[in-house]
């Protein structure tokens, strides 16, 4: 692979993929943490709100624990349905692995020390990492209704 083609690959594919995985990782981490904290806080508050509502005749106060319980159910369901934690970890792992690959290439370590075409090997390894993550995403996304993974051939 010639140097110009390789530089174009680095700029238009490799760095773009690192940015994409990094952004998606941060987004999924933020969603996961917000939903998790919301679930924890509202779950802890609900019994206290129930106890408080027993001591009041105000009908509006009695609705507050019901509303918090609904939010707990929605937050927990959203975490399960959208798999923010799993996506966060998968995207972060792929992003960091892609970042590591350029260092191996530049230092000429591992397989890069014995190959004649380091650029072609780099492209092949990067595309393999991206393909592996795509397969992992597919497996994660294709959960059956009972929570078991559906087998998908890589």
d(CA 130, CA 133): 5
Residue 74 lies in a domain: yes
Domain count, the chain: 1
Q: Quick one: 105 exposed, middle or buried, by C-beta within 10 A (0-12, 13-18, 19+)?
A: buried
Give yes or no for residue 146 having a pLDDT over 50: no
Q: How many H-runs (helices) and E-runs (strands) does the chain carry?
A: 5, 0
Contact 53, 64 (CB under 8 A): yes
pTM: 0.82
How large a percentage of the chain has pLDDT more than 90? 77
SS3 label, residue 119: helix
In a domain, 148, yes or no: no
Which of 75, 91, 96, 98 minimizes the C-alpha distance to 29?
A: 91
Q: Is residue 120 part of a domain?
A: yes
Report DSSP letters for 30-89, one per residue: HHHHHHHHHHHHHHHHHHHHHHHHHT---HHHHHHHHHHHHHHHHHHHHHHHH-HHHHHH
Domain annotation covers residue 154 = no
* Euclidean distance between CA atoms 133 and 94, whole angstroms: 7
What are 100-130's pLDDT values in tens digits? 999 999 999 999 999 999 999 999 999 999 9
| 49 CB neighbour count, 10 Å cutoff | 18
> How large is the average pLDDT for residues 130-154?
64
What is the domain extent for residue 65? 3-141
Tell whether 129 is covered by a domain. Answer: yes
Band of pLDDT at residue 1, cut at 50, 70 and 90: confident
pLDDT at 148: 54
Establish if 111 belongs to a structural domain. Answer: yes
C-alpha dihedral (51, 54, 55, 58), degrees to nearest 10 = 120
Q: Mean pLDDT across the chain, nearest whole number?
A: 90
67-112 pLDDT, tens per residue? 999 999 999 999 999 999 999 999 999 999 999 999 999 999 999 9
């Amino acid at each position: 692979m010639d140097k110009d083609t390789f530089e174009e690959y680095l700029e238009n594919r490799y760095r773009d993929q690192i940015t994409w995985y990094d952004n998606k990782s941060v987004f999924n981490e933020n969603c996961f943490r917000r939903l998790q904290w919301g679930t924890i806080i509202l779950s802890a508050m609900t019994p206290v709100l129930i106890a408080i509502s027993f001591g009041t005749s105000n009908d509006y106060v009695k609705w507050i624990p019901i509303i918090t319980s609904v939010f707990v159910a929605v937050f927990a369901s959203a975490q399960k349905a959208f798999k923010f934690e799993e996506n966060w970890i998968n995207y972060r792992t792929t992003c960091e692995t892609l970042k590591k690959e350029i260092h191996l290439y530049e230092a000429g370590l591992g397989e890069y020390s014995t190959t004649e075409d380091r650029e072609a090997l780099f492209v092949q390894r990067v595309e393999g990492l991206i393909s592996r993550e795509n397969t992992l995403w597919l497996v994660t996304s294709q959960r059956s209704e009972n929570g078991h993974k559906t087998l998908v051939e890589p």
